[in-house]
Amino acid sequence: MARGAPMDQKKAYGPHEAVTLGLELEIAGYNFYTRVAQAATDYRIRDLFQHLANSEKEHRRVIKEEIEPIFAPEWYREEDQEMMAQYLRKIEKQPVFPNPEKAEAIVRGADSAIKAIDIGILAEKQAVEYFLFLRDATRDGTGKQAFDRLRLEEVKHLKLLNDLKKDLLA
């Protein structure tokens, strides 16, 4: 997956694959934000990134409890989730969020806070695009509402990140 595009929207993903990719996005966001929060020395970075990590955890709950049941095939079992996620990670070239182990290195150095925020901004923009794509591609009304709610949450995250970046640069 190239930076700047959340997932290849030209690929033909089934609804359940799209939900799995959404879950992967939220898990990666949680892991990244948690690692940055743990490594941050500036309380503003730490507090915001911990808040974002908690939000990503809530988004995962929404997907698992409200969206996934709509699209999960009858034969689907919980243990199939990781197998499908591994397959989809292989066919996607570039993750939205960097590897969590790299998060600590990102927050070291003179421009570390801005770098971490910029990664968050890019990832949140991609998440907004992805959930908009899923909302528009979903026929089920409940699914549309849930994807739109997630999209609006990601828009809020973007605003929080942009506001903090402005504060740090002021």
Sign of the C-alpha dihedral, residues 33, 37, 39, 44? positive
Share of the chain above pLDDT 70, in %: 66
**How many residues are recorded in the chain?**
170
CATH code for the part of the protein at 15-169: 1.20.1260.10
pLDDT band, residue 1 (cuts 50/70/90): very low
Q: What angle do CA 165, 155, 101 make, to 5 degrees?
A: 60
Side-chain-facing half-sphere of 170: CA atoms under 13 Å: 6
Burial of 146 (C-beta count, 10 Å sphere; 0-12/13-18/19+): buried
Q: Where are the domains of the chain?
A: 15-169
What mean pLDDT is predicted for residues 107-121? 78
Q: What is the pLDDT of residues 13-61, one digit of tens each?
A: 566 677 777 888 888 889 989 988 988 888 998 999 999 999 999 989 8
Side-chain-facing half-sphere of 14: CA atoms under 13 Å: 8
